[in-house]
Amino acid sequence: MSEQAEVHSAQTLASGGIGRKPPKAGPTSSGRPTEALGTLTEKMGTGENAKNSIVWMTITWSFSIATAISFLFFSLVVCYKDFSYLESIKSVWSLFIPLITLALGYAFGKSK
Q: pLDDT tens digits, residue range 5-48? A: 554 555 555 555 555 555 555 555 555 555 556 776 776 777 77
pLDDT score for 28:
55
Mean pLDDT of 76-88: 92
pLDDT score for 88:
93
> How far is residue 11's CA from residue 65's CA, in Å, rounded to a whole number?
44
pLDDT score for 71:
97
> How far is residue 87's CA from residue 110's CA, in Å, rounded to a whole number?
35
Q: What angle do CA 97, 95, 45 make, to 5 degrees?
A: 60
Sequence-distant (6+) residues with CB within 8 A of 63 are: 96, 100
Strand partners, 27: 33
Percentage of the residues of the chain whose pLDDT score is greater than 70: 61
- With a threshold of 0.85, does the pTM exceed it? no
Sign of the dihedral defined by the CA atoms of residues 46, 49, 51, 56, in that order: negative
